Amino acid sequence: MILALASNFRWIEAAPKTRHNRIMTDTPSFRQTRRSLPIALLRARETVMGPFRDMLATSGVNEQKWRVLRVLQERGPLELSQVAAEAVLLLSSLTRMVGPMVDEGLISRMTPPEDRRKTIVAITPAGLALVNAHAAHSTAILGRIEAEFGRKRLEALLDLLEDLQKLDLRNGSTAASTRTKR
């Protein structure tokens, strides 16, 4: 076996030499994908969201619409940019969702006369009924997560994720935090 260093990667070539049996391995500075934070967060998201997707499939509502409904159910009528931020959606994606959600009778929209540039959306009785219809199942899913993962661990994880969200990694600075590092 011949090792040849090329740029930031090591090429491992096995005999006979063909370009088809080259294996590129990462440099030691990379974390293994099983310990990669972005990948770990995606895996955890899929583990948690699976049962919720199954629940929502019975009503034909996707997870993005569900998040919009939950935000409006919890916070009341809001301007679109606030809903997008709270539901973790791009404003452009939410804007495309509003019309169909209004047509489905899940939300209503209005434009305040004092500022015609804004759009305010609110959950309708039908939207609230849909959220309430899934309340017991949603609570059961969260109960199972708490039972299997542990309530204290879940609360600690949520606290840590809140702290992680405060980082401003795009600009290289950290938002002020009252929490101490653990």
Q: What is the mean pLDDT of residues 95-120?
A: 95
Q: Residue 2: is its pLDDT beyond 80?
A: no
In the chain, where are the structural domains located?
1-29, 33-153
Question: Quick one: pLDDT at residue 15?
Answer: 46
106 in Cβ contact with 71 (< 8 Å): no
In the predicted structure, residue 153 carries a pLDDT above the cut 80: yes
The pLDDT value given to residue 32: 86
| 33-153 placed in CATH 1.10.10.10 | yes
Percentage of residues in the chain having pLDDT higher than 90: 70
Confidence of residue 178 (pLDDT cuts 50, 70, 90): very low
In this predicted structure, the answer to whether residue 136 has a pLDDT above a threshold of 80 is yes
Does the pLDDT at position 10 exceed 60? no
Find the mean pLDDT for residues 25-30: 62
Question: pTM of this prediction?
Answer: 0.76
Spacing of C-alpha 9 from chain mean position: 32
